Chains A and B, each alone.
Chain A
Amino acid sequence: MIKNIILVAISLIVLTSASVAPAYAMSIPDFGSCVNPQGKVIASYNSGNHGIVGQNNEVAGSDSVYKSSQNGVTQCFCPTNGNGIQTNWLKANSLTASDINVLKNQGWTYIATGSNWGLEDVPYLAKNSDYACRKNATKADSTKILGLASTGDSFTIYSLIFAGAGFLISGMILRRFNK
C-alpha cells in the first residue's frame, strides 16, 4: 500500500513537471507580439478584406505585416469585431521534412508558397494566435479558463491543505472500517 502511494506521488510530480522540447535543424525565431510588434513594416493596410490562414473567407479589418527576423514574418490582423489574429510566418525552405512534421503536429500549417500571401516564393509554416485589438472585442483570456489559475495565493494553498487533510482522514477512517 505504502509503495503504491509513493509510486503515485512520484508519477504525479513527474507528470506535472516534465516536458520534452523537440530539437529542430534551425531555431524558431522570435515573432514577438502584435501588442508591441518589432521589425520593419513590409505591408500595412488600415482597412480592406484580408486572407487569414485557416479561414476560407476573407475578413474585413486592418492588417500590418512585420519582418520580425531573417526567417520570420509577423502578420497582425485586426478585424472590425476586435478579435485580432496574429499569424507567425516561418520560412520552411531550410527545415527538414521531419522538422516540418513536428511543427505541423504543434499546430503550424504548411503553405507551399508564400507568393499567394504577398510573401517570398518559398514554402512557409504559419500559426495563428489571438489578441484583442478593438473596443468591441469579446475574447476573454482562454488560458485562464483552461488553466489552474491564481496559483501561489494563500486561498489556493489553504484550500489544498484542507482538502488534502479531508481526503486523508476520510481514507484512513474507511481503511479502519475495512479491518
Chain B
Amino acid sequence: MKLLSRLFIILGIFCYTLGIYNIWLSIDPHRLSFTKYSYAQTVSPEKKQLPEKIIIKDLNINLNIIPSHVVDNKWETTDMGASYLQSSPIPGDDGNSIIYAHNWASLFANLVYAVPGQEIQIRYADNSTKTFVIKYTSSVTPDNSTILAPSNDKRITLYTCTGFLDSQRFIVVAVLKDK
C-alpha cells in the first residue's frame, strides 16, 4: 500500500511535469521552425490572389489560411488556422509555397495520414480555387531546411510537427494539378 501511494504520487508529479512542458511547447515561438531558413523571397501579392482556405477532404482538414512571417528565426504561428509563409510564392505560382500548422486536432493533426495521390484545394480571396495533388510525404529533422528551397514547379509544401516531443517535421509536397 505504501509503495502504491508513492507510485501514484510520482506518476502525478510526472504528469504535471509533462503538462508544464506541454504548456511551454504551446507558446514556444521556435516550435514549428526550421533552422537555417534562408530562402525568403520578396513576394508582393495582389490582395485578391492571397490564399484564404485550405481543404483536404480525405483528411478532414478545412482551415482558414493566415499570412505569416519569419522574424529572427521565429516562425509566426496561429491557432486560428494554417499559416502561409508570405516570403514564399503564392500557391499556384512558380516555386515552392510554404503552409504550416501545429499538429493539434483542430489544425494539421491528420496531415500525417496524407499519401501521394490525395488532392488539396486552395481557395483564394477572389473565390477562385486551385487543386494540388500530393506527390511526396516524408519526415525530416528541423535542420533539413532544403525542403523549403525554391523549386522549378508549381508546388505547395505543407508541414507540421511529429515524432517524440515534436522533434521532427512531417512534410507533404503537392504540385498543381494539370487542367
Residues of A within 8 A of B (CB): 1, 4-5, 8-9, 12-13, 16, 30, 32-36, 38, 82, 84, 86, 129-138, 140-144, 146-157, 160-161, 163-175, 177-178
A33-B171, A134-B116, A178-B2 known; A160 vs B138 contact (CB < 8 Å): no
A9 to B140, CA, bound (A): 31
Which residues of chain B come closer than 8 Å to A5, judged between CB atoms?
Answer: 9-10, 13
Report yes or no: A152 in contact with B96, Cβ–Cβ below 8 A: no
Residues of B within 8 A of A (CB): 1-2, 4-19, 21-23, 25-26, 28, 31, 96, 102-106, 109, 112-113, 115-117, 135-140, 143-144, 146-149, 151, 157, 161-168, 170-171, 173
Report yes or no: B12 in contact with A133, Cβ–Cβ below 8 A: no
A13 vs chain B, min Cβ distance (A): 6
A139 to B26, CA, bound (A): 28
Which residues of chain A come closer than 8 Å to B135, judged between CB atoms?
Answer: 35, 133
B11 vs chain A, min Cβ distance (A): 4
Report yes or no: A151 in contact with B168, Cβ–Cβ below 8 A: no
Report yes or no: B16 in contact with A161, Cβ–Cβ below 8 A: yes
A34-B138, A144-B170, A160-B15 known; A150 vs B109 contact (CB < 8 Å): yes
Beyond known contacts A34-B136, A153-B26, A171-B12: 19 more, CB 8 A cutoff:
A32-B146, A35-B138, A36-B146, A86-B138, A133-B135, A137-B115, A137-B137, A141-B112, A141-B137, A144-B163, A147-B165, A150-B105, A151-B25, A157-B26, A160-B16, A163-B12, A164-B16, A172-B5, A174-B4
Which residues of chain B come closer than 8 Å to A9, judged between CB atoms?
Answer: 13-14, 17
A171-B9, A177-B1 known; A135 vs B117 contact (CB < 8 Å): yes
Report yes or no: B165 in contact with A167, Cβ–Cβ below 8 A: no
- The winner among A132, A135, A177 for most chain B CB atoms within 10 A is A132
A173 to B4, CA, bound (A): 11
A147 to B139, CA, bound (A): 12
A132-B136, A147-B164, A160-B19 known; A152 vs B104 contact (CB < 8 Å): yes
A82 to B116, CA, bound (A): 8
Q: Which residue of B lies closest to A38 (CB)?
A: B146
Q: Which residue of A lies closest to B137 (CB)?
A: A132
Report yes or no: A164 in contact with B5, Cβ–Cβ below 8 A: no
Report yes or no: A141 in contact with B139, Cβ–Cβ below 8 A: yes
B54 vs chain A, min Cβ distance (A): 18
A12-B14, A152-B26, A163-B15 known; A30 vs B8 contact (CB < 8 Å): no
A169 to B117, CA, bound (A): 50
- Cross-chain pairs A/B with CB under 8 angstroms, 19 sampled: A12-B17, A16-B165, A32-B147, A33-B140, A35-B138, A35-B157, A36-B147, A36-B157, A133-B116, A149-B162, A153-B104, A157-B19, A160-B15, A161-B16, A161-B19, A164-B15, A164-B16, A172-B5, A174-B1
